[in-house]
Amino acid sequence: MSCDKKKITLTVNGEERTITADPQSPLLDAIRDDMRESAVQLRCGQGRCGGCVVLLDGKRVLACDIAIARADKRSVTII
């Protein structure tokens, strides 16, 4: 992972949130650690089990398998 942190803005369940994070860190880490949202589960950490599924602009993604930078300025729905 790089050490250059960037401001990332997401709309999570309708609420705009801005964090400073490594853009290559997993979306899952940002949701759980930076935003303190515990509904998204870390299970396998490899995108196999589906425990970390969220909707990104209405499309199903595995939060452990997508970089936070890919979610910048987008809508995330925790299901």
With contact defined as beta carbons under 8 Å apart, do 14 and 79 qualify?
no
* Domains by residue range for the chain, with CATH: 6-78 (3.10.20.30)
Contact call for residues 61 and 16 (beta carbons, < 8 A): no
Q: Which residues of the chain have pLDDT under 50?
A: 1
- Distance from CA of residue 71 to its chain's centroid? 7
Q: Is 10 within 8 Å of 72 (Cβ atoms)? A: yes
Closest CA to 43 of 51, 54, 31: 51
pLDDT at residue 6, as a whole number: 94
pLDDT at 49: 74
